Structure 1
Amino acid sequence: MEFYVGWSHSDAIFSNYFSDCPMLVSAVPDNRGTIKRFLNKPKRIMIDCGSVYYVKQRERPKLKDIFNLQLSIVEECDVDIESIQMVHFDEPMMNKVLLSEKYMAMERTLFNAYEYINLFKKTGLPNKFEPVGVIQGYDLASITYSAYELVKMGFKNFAIGSLLAKHYKTQIDFIKCAADIVGANNLHVFGVTGIPQMHAMVDIGVRSFDSTRPTMAAVFFQVFYSRPFRTYIIEKSHAKPSSARLNEPLPCDCPICLSNPADLFIPSPRDYSKLRSIHNYYHLRIELNDIRLKKGGEGYALSNVLRT
Structure 2
Amino acid sequence: MALLAFAGNSVLCRLALGEQSIDAGSFTVIRLLSGIITLTLLWYFSGMLSEPKSKHKQVAIPAGRGSWSAALMLFIYAITFSYAYISLDTGTGALILFGAVQITMILVNWIKGGRLRWPEWLGLFLAFGGFVYLLAPLLSTPSVSGFLLMTASGIAWGLYTLKGRSSQRPLADTHFNFLRTLPLLLISMLFLLDSGYLTVNGIVLAVLSGSLASGVGYAIWYLALNGLSAVQAAVLQLLVPVIAALGGVVFAAEEISLRLIIASLMVLGGILLVVLGRYYLSVLSAEKETGGDG
Q: TM-score, normalized by length of structure 1?
A: 0.24
Q: TM-score, normalized by length of structure 2?
A: 0.25
Relative to its length, the structure with more strand (as a share) is 1
